């Protein structure tokens, strides 16, 4: 199927995982500089079947099963990007990204800077992250806070199929390295309408997923969907919560957060990654700097506890993950503050 | 057990007039010598400027001139790519970088390609195919493999990559990953390992159990070749064979060039704390720069007068480059903020509402 033959109108309902898959597929069709590389992306079609059939359609030159070594998956992709290709490197699970930390933080993020633009690194690194799937210590981790400290790196974490398509396209177009985070619990549990045809969503722009007046919730990932459920439940109590989907973690959208907070005068940040030093800390600091006197209540955060990981046993995982009930409770308290 | 340049040199020392020129013309042979002389001169200049307090840091490459001029002669300009490491002054010059670029980097002036961001010896020149590198040992090897993969993917046969590093770097996981990846995918790349016996203060036998880095090659299913890194002709020959194999679809080669680090690791190191003067003096007797000059004189390629003239030329070139680089301004402080990402870099985005 060619780009021109693609249907340009209407929408299709699909899951998050289907959105990743079709967007990757269309990118491969559109641009022969695009390659996919990683562990088991070829014959197996990725462990979540995201690239199933790609090997047959695009060939082993473009769908590359790499040796089992993350530093070189990213490092080789960096070299390809510096040489003008548009590689999409996959890290099978975010938990396995640590061996590539040096390549992402020390190399990809600094390529443009250290050469003063002589070389650039238009690279996408995709990886599934997050818990709630009984993945235990090493298949559940959230990694965004470890990377969002790093200038030169772009991090996006869209949570709906339409946003995934628009932001993955934007990531592939981006002339700099992008870490593209996919919450694996939303892969098949979240469905939505996806517009046909090619489009991008600007990186760095948040989205108000539900308008409200009594409190602002900023979230992303699986938590975003729980927050929406919680906010909808509170409607029956007459509590109106605005839910902002961050979508981009670096850069972040100051305008949307401040506009919402100035309207509701209350802020709750929810993320699955550990609370200490997490994304919520930066948002809280920004709001304190810019809008402290517009607040009617202290900023609140619901986030992962200060433990190294979630356990395999259901009670340990449940204890780590913030439940929708906890969110309802926190929103109610804040609205009434 | 470890085989260094002394044993190499005994077996491959050029014997008087029977010059095996490996197909190189007189002009090419002189160009190699000139590159070596220029490298030596620029090296000295870096240390001088450091002693004069004009630059904070310099890192010498004395002992690496022969391997680098030989490898550079095998490099095809406009086709091949060089992914160098910080001791590759001679390779950088040999593939087309200028003394002015080198001095601009030493002085950290605006005329440096990175505009004074990079540490000295961290070459970049996209036009010449010299990749930008960091200081992280062996991280660049993976990038070299990526460039080779791009050449292969686009069907650009006739192009190959030189990935260069020291023997210490071969202990890094990323060197191993790079060689393995390139081997599995049959990529057009040559892994040039300049074995100078030392990694700062750590000797080769504390890095590896094998006598030669090239001995690791069979573990990757690759050819591994040891070459005399004190002979530009020997290195040229080995490198051009390996590069030609790479350019024509024959896959990667590990080339180990035995050489020696005559100086301390850098101006921040004092090698008297960890190695004996006697061994250095022994190795100095094999110094490849005067030796190659002598080889060319004995073979009648140049005479004493021409040799002297070459030395005067590179001195003049170095002096001119020093003066003009020093006269350049520093980068403006505001440039600290540019080229983080494309366009305006702001971690907090603001939109018209
Ligand atoms: C990852 C990393 N670890 C340590 C260093 C510090 N360091 C710089 S050069 C060097 C020795 C490298 O030796 P070798 O690879 O043999 O190259 P040579 O300097 O001898 O040419 C070390 C340890 C570094 N730059 N990067
Ligand atoms: Mg060494």
Asked whether residue B110 is domain-assigned, the answer is yes
User: Which atom of ligand 1 sits closest to the CA of residue B64?
Assistant: 21
Task: Work out the mean pLDDT of chain B and round it to a whole number.
Answer: 95
For B129, which residue in chain A has the nearest alpha carbon? A83
Q: Contacts of residue B346 in chain A, CB cutoff 8 Å?
A: 251
H-run or E-run covering A334? helix A324-336
A92-145, pLDDT tens digit by residue?
Answer: 999 999 999 999 999 999 999 999 999 999 999 999 999 999 999 999 999 999
Q: List, for residues B275-292, the tens digit of each pLDDT value.
A: 999 999 999 999 999 999
**Of the residues A139, A183, A225, A271, which is catalytic?**
A139
Contact state of B177 with A75 under an 8 Å Cβ cutoff: yes
> How do residues B196-214 score in pLDDT, each as one tens digit?
999 999 999 999 999 999 9
Q: Which of A148, A155, A95 is nearest to A125 (CA)?
A: A155
CATH number at residue B25: 3.40.50.970
Q: What is the pLDDT of residue B4?
A: 77
Q: Are B163 and A130 in contact (CB under 8 A)?
A: no
For residue B129, the surrounding DSSP H or E stretch is none
pLDDT of A3 reads: 39
Q: What is the pLDDT of residue A1?
A: 33
Tens digits of residue pLDDT in B212-259: 999 999 999 999 999 999 999 999 999 999 999 999 999 999 999 999
pLDDT tens for B167-188 read 999 999 999 999 999 999 999 9
Averaged confidence pLDDT in chain A = 96
Selection from B106, B131, B127 nearest residue B118 by Cα = B106
The answer for residues whose C-beta is within 8 angstroms of residue B100's C-beta and 6 or more apart is B111, B321, B324, B325
* CATH 3.40.190.10 given to domain A207-336: no
> What ipTM does this complex have?
0.95
pLDDT at A55 over 80: yes
Preferred mutation among B115, B347, B352 to probe A, highest tally of A CBs within 10 A: B347
Task: Tell me the residue range of the domain where B86 lies.
Answer: 1-134+189-202+256-326
Q: For residue A328, how many other CB atoms are within 10 A of its CB?
A: 21
Half-sphere exposure of residue B199: CA atoms within 13 angstroms, side-chain side? 20
Find how far residue A134's CA is from the centre of its chain.
20
In this predicted structure, the answer to whether residue B125 has a pLDDT above a threshold of 90 is yes
Maximum alpha-carbon separation in chain B: 81
Rounded to two decimals, the pTM is: 0.96
CA distance B185 to A35: 15
**Span between the terminal Cα atoms of chain A, in Å:** 56
Name the residue among A102, A51, A114 with its Cα closest to residue A73.
A102
Q: With an 8 Å Cβ cutoff, is B219 touching chain A?
A: no
- Beta bridge pairs of residue B228: B258
Going from the Cα of B86 to the center of ligand 1, the distance in angstroms, rounded, reads: 9
Give me the residues of B, 9-28, that contact A with CB < 8 A: none
Confidence of residue B3 (pLDDT cuts 50, 70, 90): confident
B272 occurs within a structural domain = yes
* Phi, psi dihedrals of residue A71, rounded to the nearest 5°: -60, -40
Is A149 an annotated catalytic residue?
no
Confirm or reject contact between A74 and chain B (CB < 8 A).
yes
Provide the pLDDT for residue A6: 47
Q: Which two tokens stand for residue A209?
A: 């997923």
**Best CA proximity match to A113, nearest among B124, B138, B86:** B124
Would you say residue B334 lies in a domain?
no
DSSP code of residue A152: T
Asked if domains A11-195 and A207-336 share a fold, the reply is yes
Query: Is residue B227, in this structure, part of any structural domain at all?
Result: no
Residue B233 lies in a domain: no
- Give the DSSP per-residue string, A187-236: HHH-EEEEESS-----TT--EEEE--SSEEEEE-THHHHHHHHHHHHHHT
B221 at the A interface (CB within 8 A)? no
The whole-number pLDDT of residue B10 equals 56
In the prediction, which pLDDT does A7 show? 52
| Domain A11-195, CATH | 3.40.50.970
Instruction: Give the catalytic positions of B in this structure.
Output: 261, 265, 274
- Which site among A66, A83, A96, A99 would you substitute to test the B interface, given the most B Cβ atoms closer than 10 Å to its Cβ? A83
State what percent of residues in chain B have pLDDT above 70.
Answer: 97
pLDDT at B40: 98
Q: What percent of chain A has pLDDT over 90?
A: 97
| Residue range A10-35: mean pLDDT, rounded | 98
Q: Which residues of B touch A62 (CB under 8 A)?
A: 153
From the CA of B87, give the closest atom in ligand 1: 21
Domain boundary assignment for chain A: 11-195, 207-336
Listed by number, the residues of chain A in 11-70 with a beta carbon closer than 8 Å to a beta carbon of chain B are 35, 61-62, 64, 66-67, 69
Q: Tally the domains of chain B.
A: 1
Domain presence at residue B24: yes
Position B17 confidence tier, pLDDT thresholds 50, 70, 90: low
Question: Model confidence at A2, in pLDDT bands (50, 70, 90)?
Answer: very low
Is A150 in CB contact (< 8 Å) with chain B? no
| Residue B351 within a domain | no
**B129 in a domain, yes or no?**
yes
């Amino acid at each position: 199927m060619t780009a021109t033959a693609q249907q340009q109108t209407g929408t299709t309902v699909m899951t998050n995982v289907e959105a990743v898959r079709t967007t990757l597929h269309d990118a491969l069709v559109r641009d022969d500089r695009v390659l996919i590389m990683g562990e088991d992306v070829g014959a197996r079609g990725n462990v979540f079947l995201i690239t199933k059939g790609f090997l047959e359609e695009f060939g082993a030159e473009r769908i590359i099963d790499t040796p089992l070594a993350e530093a070189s998956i990213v490092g080789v992709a960096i070299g390809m990007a510096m040489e003008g290709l548009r590689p999409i490197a996959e890290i099978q699970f975010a938990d396995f990204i640590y061996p590539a930390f040096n390549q992402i933080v020390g190399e990809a993020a600094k390529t443009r800077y250290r050469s003063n633009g002589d070389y650039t690194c238009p690279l996408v690194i995709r990886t599934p992250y997050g818990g709630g799937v009984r993945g235990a210590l090493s298949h559940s981790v959230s990694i965004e806070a470890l990377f969002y400290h790093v200038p030169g790196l772009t991090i996006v974490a869209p949570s709906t199929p339409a946003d995934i398509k628009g932001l993955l396209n934007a990531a592939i177009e981006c002339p700099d390295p992008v870490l593209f985070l996919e919450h694996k619990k939303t892969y098949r549990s979240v469905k939505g309408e996806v517009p046909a045809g090619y489009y991008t969503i600007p990186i760095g722009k948040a989205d108000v997923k539900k308008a409200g007046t009594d409190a602002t919730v900023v979230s992303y990932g699986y938590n975003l969907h729980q927050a929406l459920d919680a906010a909808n439940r509170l409607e029956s109590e007459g509590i109106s919560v605005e839910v902002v989907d961050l979508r981009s973690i670096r850069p972040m959208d100051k305008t949307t957060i401040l506009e919402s907070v100035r309207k509701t005068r209350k802020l709750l940040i929810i993320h699955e990654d550990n609370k200490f030093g997490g994304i919520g800390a930066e948002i809280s600091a920004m709001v304190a700097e810019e809008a402290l006197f517009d607040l009617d209540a202290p900023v609140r955060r619901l986030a992962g506890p200060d433990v190294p990981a979630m356990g395999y046993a259901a009670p340990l995982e449940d204890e780590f993950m913030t439940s929708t009930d906890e969110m309802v409770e926190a929103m109610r308290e804040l609205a009434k503050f | 057990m470890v085989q260094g340049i002394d044993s190499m040199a005994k077996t491959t020392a050029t014997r008087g007039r029977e010059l095996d020129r490996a197909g190189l013309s007189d002009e090419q042979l002189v160009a190699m010598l000139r590159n070596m002389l220029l490298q030596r001169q620029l090296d000295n200049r870096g240390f001088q400027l450091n002693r004069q307090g004009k630059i904070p840091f310099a890192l010498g490459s004395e002992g690496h001139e022969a391997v680098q001029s030989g490898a550079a002669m095998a490099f095809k300009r406009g086709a091949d790519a060089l992914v160098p490491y910080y001791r590759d002054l001679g390779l950088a010059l040999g593939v087309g970088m200028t003394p002015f670029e080198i001095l601009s980097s030493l002085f950290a002036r605006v005329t440096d390609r990175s505009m004074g961001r990079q540490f000295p010896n961290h070459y970049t020149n996209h036009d010449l195919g010299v990749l930008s590198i960091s200081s992280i040992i062996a991280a660049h090897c993976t990038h070299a493999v990526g460039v080779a993969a791009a050449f292969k993917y686009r069907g650009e046969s006739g192009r190959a990559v030189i990935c260069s590093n020291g023997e210490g770097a071969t202990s890094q996981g990323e060197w191993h990953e790079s060689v393995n990846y390139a081997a599995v995918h049959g990529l057009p790349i040559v892994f040039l390992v300049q074995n100078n016996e030392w990694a700062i203060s750590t000797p080769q036998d504390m890095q590896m159990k094998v006598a030669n880095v090239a001995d690791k090659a069979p573990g990757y299913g690759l050819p591994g070749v040891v070459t005399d890194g004190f002979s530009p002709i020997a290195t040229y020959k080995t490198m051009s064979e390996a590069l030609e194999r790479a350019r024509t679809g024959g896959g990667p080669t590990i080339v180990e060039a035995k050489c020696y680090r005559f100086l301390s690791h850098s101006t921040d190191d004092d090698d008297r704390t960890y190695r004996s003067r006697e061994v250095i003096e022994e190795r100095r007797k094999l110094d490849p720069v005067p030796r190659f000059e002598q080889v060319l004189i004995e073979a009648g390629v140049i005479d004493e007068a021409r040799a002297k003239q070459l030395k005067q030329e590179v001195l003049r070139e170095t002096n001119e480059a020093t003066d003009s680089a020093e006269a350049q301004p520093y980068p403006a402080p505001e440039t600290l903020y540019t080229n983080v990402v494309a366009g305006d870099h702001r971690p907090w985005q603001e939109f018209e509402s």
